[in-house]
């Protein structure tokens, strides 16, 4: 372990957050060796900076700052932090979009850990093909390696029709081709790559092509956002985990006739909002944290 | 062949128009449901159809490019301002089926949903 906390201690954190979810192929534990390289990262998603809606979140101007404080207060030090899209709430005004991105960047600049990765959501990128996002945070899709894990960020939002697109799929294929079939691969994306509930636009039009490219690899886990709640799903041996939002919660897929956001509960403020820590020992351990401790 | 999104959209719209032109004789016998998409709603948004009765769904947009997706019947089309796109459709089962705009169109895009109720 590299960060002054072992797995048992990480699991004990369940006392201050949500349940621990185990992901991946438990049968592959030990397959990759190098336990000393295990580390933690934190996923935050769907902060929707600029959203106004007191019935859904009367603290829309303060929840992101509370999340930053909560991450800074974690008892373990993540190696990096990733935001999986919808950093800002959409606007038709390009100047306002950039104002919101500026404010968002200033607020998350308060994170103690400066190794932060960003991805766009459709609210950030679908109305201008990701132009403003790129001005602030660089490419909308990319990959990087960290301590033996290959991370891939897939953009399924810069096309307003929720396509990854042929060009990016070709890039993904070439990127994955450099990996061993037993490599540890973690994918970050915004929308679900599979058809979670397309009746609510919870899908990626050509996501099946990305899954087909990932399928030959034995140890793949996908973390995404978009649906403002936890959801855990398997496509074959590939695990997909959606994250909570940091602005308002949404109902379970197909549980209501309409996709109506969950109203703010004054008796349980910030209920349904949160972020997660992921410990990369095989199998992955996922730990959910609230914005504000109960 | 790789197409950028704009070219793909134009091609899809063109194909839909061609399909509509060649299908006119068949369409003429079918019930036509006209649906207008605009920020941020479909009108009508709740549509009742009869099982086994062929219909034509005819779409237009009052403002920006939209999409119509009816996943349970694997139907979708782009909806382009200034034109019409048509889907020929015969519901083969009874139930209530959701549809949505699948082209992100702005702040309340997520509200652009509706239902098709198929009765016996």
Interatomic CA distance for residues A156 and A161, integer angstroms: 9
Interatomic CA distance for residues A9 and A1, integer angstroms: 11
Give the closest-approach CA distance of A258 to chain B in angstroms.
8
- Return the pLDDT at A216: 98
Sign of CA dihedral A58, A61, A64, A65: negative
Residues of chain A below pLDDT 70: 1-36, 294
At residue A80, the 3 state secondary structure works out as strand
Mean pLDDT of chain B: 84
Cβ–Cβ gap A201/B107 under 8 Å: no
Give the closest-approach CA distance of A200 to chain B in angstroms.
6
* Binding-site residues on chain A for chain B (CB distance < 8 A): 89-92, 122, 126-127, 129, 157, 159-163, 165-167, 170, 195, 198-201, 203, 205, 257-259
Q: Indicate whether this model's pTM tops 0.80.
A: yes
**Residues A77-131 pLDDT 10s:** 999 999 999 999 999 999 999 999 999 999 999 999 999 999 999 999 999 999 9
Q: Which residues of B fall within a CB distance of 8 Å from A127?
A: 104, 106
- Whole-angstrom CA distances from B1 to A103, A141, A213 are 41, 22, 19
Q: Is the peptide bond before A283 cis (omega within 30 degrees of 0)?
A: yes
Nearest CA in chain A to B9: A161
- CATH code for the domain defined by B5-119: 2.60.40.420
Determine whether B45 is exposed, middle or buried from the number of CB atoms within 10 Å of its CB (0-12, 13-18, 19+).
middle
> What is the number of CB-based contacts under 8 A between chain A and chain B?
66
- Return the pLDDT at A208: 98
Q: Among candidates B73, B44, B61, B72, which has minimal Cα distance to B103?
A: B61
Please list, residue by residue across B1-34, b when 16 or more beta carbons sit within 10 angstroms of its beta carbon and e when fewer do: eeeeeeebbeebbeebeeebeeeeeebeebeebe
CA angle A212, A216, A221 (to 5 degrees): 80
Confidence of residue B29 (pLDDT cuts 50, 70, 90): confident
Cβ–Cβ gap B5/A165 under 8 Å: yes
- Return the pLDDT at A283: 84
Query: Does this complex have an ipTM over 0.95?
Result: no
- Return the pLDDT at A30: 37
Q: At what angle do helices A166-177 and A207-214 cross, to 10 degrees?
A: 10
Interatomic CA distance for residues A61 and A5, integer angstroms: 33
Interatomic CA distance for residues B105 and B68, integer angstroms: 12
- CATH code for the domain defined by A7-290: 3.60.21.10
- Return the pLDDT at A16: 47
Please list, residue by residue across B99-108, b when 16 or more beta carbons sit within 10 angstroms of its beta carbon and e when fewer do: bbbbbbbbee
Q: Are strands A238-242 and B31-38 parallel, antiparallel or unpaired?
A: unpaired
Decide: A71 and A44 in contact? Cβ < 8 Å. Answer: yes
């Amino acid at each position: 372990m590299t960060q002054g906390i072992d797995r048992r201690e990480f699991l004990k954190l369940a006392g201050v957050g949500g349940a621990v979810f185990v992901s991946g192929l438990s049968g592959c534990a030990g397959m990759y060796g190098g336990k000393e390289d295990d580390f933690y990262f934190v996923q935050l998603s769907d902060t929707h900076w600029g959203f106004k809606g007191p019935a859904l979140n009367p603290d829309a101007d303060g929840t992101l700052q509370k999340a930053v404080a909560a991450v800074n207060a974690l008892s373990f030090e993540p190696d990096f932090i990733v935001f999986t899209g919808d950093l800002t709430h959409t606007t038709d005004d390009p100047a306002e979009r950039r104002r919101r991105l500026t404010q968002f960047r200033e607020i998350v600049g308060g994170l103690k850990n400066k190794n932060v990765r960003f991805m766009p959501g459709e609210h950030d990128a679908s109305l201008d093909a990701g132009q403003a996002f790129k001005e602030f945070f660089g490419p909308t899709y990319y990959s990087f390696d960290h301590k033996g894990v290959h991370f891939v960020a897939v953009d399924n939002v810069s096309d307003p029709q929720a396509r990854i697109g042929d060009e990016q799929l070709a890039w993904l294929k070439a990127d994955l081709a450099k990996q061993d079939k037993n490599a540890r691969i973690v994918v970050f994306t915004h929308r679900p790559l599979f058809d979670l509930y397309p009746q609510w636009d919870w899908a990626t039009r050509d996501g099946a092509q990305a899954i087909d490219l990932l399928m030959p690899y034995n140890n793949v886990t996908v973390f995404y956002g978009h649906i403002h709640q936890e959801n855990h799903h398997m496509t074959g041996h590939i695990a997909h985990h959606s994250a909570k939002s940091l602005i308002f919660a949404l109902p379970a897929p197909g549980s209501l006739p309409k996709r109506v956001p969950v109203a703010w509960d004054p008796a349980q403020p910030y209920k349904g909002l949160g972020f997660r820590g992921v410990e990369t020992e095989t199998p992955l351990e996922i730990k959910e944290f609230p914005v504000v401790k109960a | 062949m790789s197409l950028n999104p704009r070219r793909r959209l134009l091609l899809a719209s063109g194909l839909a128009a061609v399909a509509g032109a060649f299908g006119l004789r068949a369409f003429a016998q079918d019930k036509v449901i006209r649906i207008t998409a605009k920020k941020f709603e479909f009108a009508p948004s709740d549509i009742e159809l009869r099982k086994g009765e062929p219909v034509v769904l005819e779409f237009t947009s009052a403002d920006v490019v939209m999409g119509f997706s009816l996943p349970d019947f694997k139907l979708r089309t782009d909806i382009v301002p200034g034109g019409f796109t048509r889907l020929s459709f015969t519901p083969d089962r009874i139930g209530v089926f959701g549809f949505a705009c699948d082209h992100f169109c702005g702040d309340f895009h997520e509200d652009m949903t509706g239902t098709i109720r198929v009765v016996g």
